[in-house]
A and B are shown apart, each in its own frame.
Chain A
Amino acid sequence: MSESVPRYWREIKIRERLIGSKCEDCGRITFPPRKVCPYCRSRKLTEVELPKKGKLLSYSVVRKPPAEFEKYAPYVIGIITLENGVNVISQLTDIDLKDVKIGMELEGVLRKYREEGEEGLIHYGIKFRPRIK
């Protein structure tokens, strides 16, 4: 599905830099940022940039993708627990499927997610790859 330019534009910063929000009352961090804390309902939330390093908590291989990802399948998606304990969902990159293991150390890099045809938007976001030691 095509996304309107404003709809894509307004999420860029959050997706490309992993911006979350931190609650000034209870201290919990959530991704993506929000207006009300889901843990204590405080409205005093500030934006914070999340760490780009984490560990793989679980993963799957998308073989029957949504229409807009048709030409990219199969690909790996996973839940990554970042160094501060916050979970995010993301695609994995630069790795063979047979090497994917729960608990592996990963790092986020900026990558292309998809293109909307010749003149359409190109969607960028963070993907996670094995951490380079």
Chain B
Amino acid sequence: MKPIVVGVGMTKVGEHWDESLKSLAVEASLEAIDSSGLTPEVIVFSNMMSGRLQVQDHLGTLLADELGLRGLPAVRVEAACASGGVAFHVAYNMIKSGIYKVALVVGAEKMSDTSTEQTTTALMTAEDREYTGFYGASFVSLNALAHRLYMEKFNVSEEEMASLAVLSHENGVNNPFAMYRRKISTKEVLESPYVADPIHLLEAAPISDGAAAVVLASEEVAKTKSSVVSVEASTVATDAIRYYEREDLLTFESAKKAFMNAVSASKIEKDRIDILELHDAFTIVGYLTLESAGIAERGKAAKLVASNKFTLSDKPAVNTMGGLKSRGHPIGATGLYQISELYLQLTNNAGKNQVDNAKIGVAFNVGGVGTTTSVSVLKRR
């Protein structure tokens, strides 16, 4: 039994001064519910930082009430930047178990309510507070440790490192929900200031607000709908919480395992993937994901992107709606934006960025420095 995607909803990503975490989540949820034509039986809410940024928890019940669905079972899922993919995994298994027939899974994050320093502190809770946070590391700086090591070990240039950011922005231009709809050049990236050397500001996904929602249904319920996108696999794997403890600092074991398990569950070979949504919170995360999954050779991912692979006309096409870099990265919502964007592609609704005859889409949603990875495989039936 395969869960079916029967509806999606997204808010535009940006700095929404006039919206709250709650109102963003409601907007995306109602759109997903309306497009599905069904009433959810259970709610899964993905969010990382509301307790710190809004001083609000108990989000599942909060949303059920706001949606006029008091009484429904509701749960909140947190797995740092992978919260969305992990929440999707929970909803996927709820449907697969047969206990629920229709599940609403919504991700939302509101990051513009606080100062950059407060948000930076909150993001560091993705690592171990007592033995990484204590030393003053920021989340960007941990990724920068990987970025520098990768350049050094595989002799990769700054220009090559910047290339995934350039690619994502190229695609984001045509995404009406994206935060930054403009192209950027390699030169602009390298001339932007360092956030944590050697990561430049334009190599890091922006702090943003947004919400995305997906309605999943059992095959039996979905039969009466025109819905054509099935979830072939949804997997999650984890690694050492402290990045410095990894035996191989340039392999994301979580991405490797989650992808391997997704391939064996879905029986989809990697050369059949049409669309690949990568978690480019930083370009290095995208490269290490491609290599850990075995889609690019070790040490070659940045060079491949720099030589114009993975564009919209390539297979797989990467970050077809702008990725985290251009669309934006409202943490808890990101994994659901990825799923929603795959859905648009697989239903032929991706507008100017439509990939011809897209049949199989895969999303990698990564939390921490490759610490938790969720892989989702969607297929047009």
Contact = CB atoms under 8 A, between A and B. Distances in A.
B121 A125 contact: no
4 A-B pairs with the lowest CB-CB distances in the bound complex, closest first? A60-B144, A67-B117, A66-B121, A60-B141
29 contacts: A31-B131, A31-B245, A58-B152, A58-B249, A59-B145, A59-B148, A60-B142, A60-B148, A60-B197, A62-B137, A63-B194, A64-B117, A64-B138, A65-B136, A66-B120, A66-B136, A67-B117, A75-B136, A77-B135, A77-B141, A77-B145, A79-B145, A79-B249, A87-B245, A90-B135, A91-B136, A102-B148, A113-B134, A123-B134
B118 interface: yes
A1 interface: yes
A57 B149 contact: yes
Given A38-B240, A91-B135, A102-B148, 14 more contacts: A11-B130, A32-B130, A58-B148, A61-B194, A62-B141, A64-B195, A65-B120, A66-B138, A67-B118, A77-B135, A77-B137, A77-B145, A89-B242, A123-B134
Contacts of B138: 62, 64-66
B196 A32 contact: no
Contacts of B116: 64
Contact of A78 (B145, B194, B245, B249): B145
Interface of B: 115-118, 120-121, 124, 130-138, 140-142, 144-146, 148-149, 152, 193-199, 240, 242-245, 249
Contacts of A75: 136
Contacts of A78: 145
Contacts, number: 103
A89 to B, nearest CB: 4
Chain B interface SS verdict (over half): helix
Greatest chain B CB density within 10 A among A15, A38, A60 is at: A60
Nearest to B196: A60
* Category for how many chain A residues contact B: 35 or more
Nearest to A97: B197
B120 A64 contact: yes
Contacts of A67: 115, 117-118, 120-121
A65 B117 contact: yes
Contacts of A125: 134-135
A63 B195 contact: yes
A57 B197 CA distance: 15
B73 to A, nearest CB: 33
Chain A interface SS verdict (over half): strand
Contacts of B141: 60-62, 77
Greatest chain B CB density within 10 A among A59, A62, A66, A91 is at: A66
Contacts of B117: 64-67, 70
Contacts of B198: 60
Nearest to A57: B149
A51 B152 CA distance: 26
A61 B121 contact: no
Contacts of B149: 57-58
Contacts of B145: 58-60, 77-79
B134 A79 contact: no
Interface string A8-30: 00010001000000000000001
Contacts of A65: 117, 120, 136, 138
A52 interface: no
A72 B130 CA distance: 19
Nearest to B150: A58
Nearest to B136: A69
Nearest to B147: A60
B252 to A, nearest CB: 16
Contacts of B240: 38
B196 A79 contact: no
